[in-house]
Structure 1
Amino acid sequence: ALITAIAMSLLLENGSQAIFGADYQTVPTIIQIPTLAIGKLKIDGATIITIVLGVIIMVALQLFVTYTKQGKAMRAVSEDKEASILMGINVNSTITLTFAIGSGLAAVASLMYCVSYPQVSPMMGAMLGLKAFVAAVLGGIGSIPGAMVGGLVIGVVESLTKAYIGTITGGVITSAFSDAIVFGILIIVLLVKPSGLMGEPETEKV
């Protein structure tokens, strides 16, 4: 499934470049969200909406996967595809539903991204997708709340790197270097706690 997703993303990215070109395109402002001011602290309205929307989607997705028939089928297929077939689960339709939900969530994420950064390009999703994978590994593969916690941790680490370490080094720390730190976190997590912050370690029955 992962290889299929990567192949499809490459097809869409390169196909978009062939059709629309590789230049950045400006996106019209979708919605105007006022900035929230608390004393001297100012928080961008788009950031607040993004966090709130993310929490709502996380809760809804967790409830769907835990309590609905389709959600249980998705978990069963991810655990044991062959056993799921024996239990009467339509594996192909379940996988299709999973891809459809993932694509829908990616569309919502891209809309919120464009609210804060009104420029798009065919390859803009490549690095975002890699960081999303790092967030999922950090939080724990298979844990929906863990993926969100991992994303918040990655975001905070990246912002602190650019703001504080970049200032100390006189701007030597660039965006590319902060990306390297993010992937360094992935390596450390895989070495120290492969199951992630909220993931459960797999047990092998003999």
Structure 2
Amino acid sequence: MTRAKRQIAIVGGTFDPVHWGHLKPILEVANAFNFECIHLLPTCAPPHRQQPEVLNTHRLGMLDAATELDSRFVVNDWELRQGLPSRTLPTLKHFHTVSADATLYFIIGMDSLLNLPDWQHWQRLFDFAHFIVIPRPGYALADASDDVKDLLAARQCDSADMQTGSGKISIADTQPLDISATELRQQLRNHNERPELLPEPVWNYIREHNLYR
């Protein structure tokens, strides 16, 4: 009897701070794809985003706090340890090597999908993982470039067709949460109570270390 492959998700981000806008959609799709674990991967000097406001040790600390929310969350500092601007291709190659017995899923936001042709070696990424796209407020497939529309025409499918192999794309049916990390940091500067979309364990870590003040 052939053993079913493990299903492993990878989520990259600045996580400055990690919040429910990141975590709730991931948990919504986790059961549908039967994820064994979900790697939370903070980026190192993200090339397409503003640089993190807090130290890497605190970004990792906040993610460690978030693992209290679900046993499938795993904090992975691989990109930080490389000490180079994060690029997705080396990351997926690494996971493909160390988890050769697993099916890999790379979770991105709709904003990232629309900008994917700007990523380095973007067409090679699908050799190593399936992609799950989380809806984001203000971003719609109607705004996609011809390259992205062609990509979806060739690769989009349902979750049931993504249990093995790589290279497929699924658009998740999740509820977009209208919050940005920039807005959340501003709330933390101006108020002493926990913002609604900040998980309590992460809030406790932020208070303990007096972050974003």
Common topology (TM > 0.5):
no
Please give the range of the TM-score, normalised by the shorter of the 2 chains: under 0.3
TM-score (normalizing by structure 2): 0.25
Structure in which a larger fraction of residues adopt helix? 1
Larger radius of gyration, structure 1 or 2? 1
Structure in which a larger fraction of residues adopt strand? 2
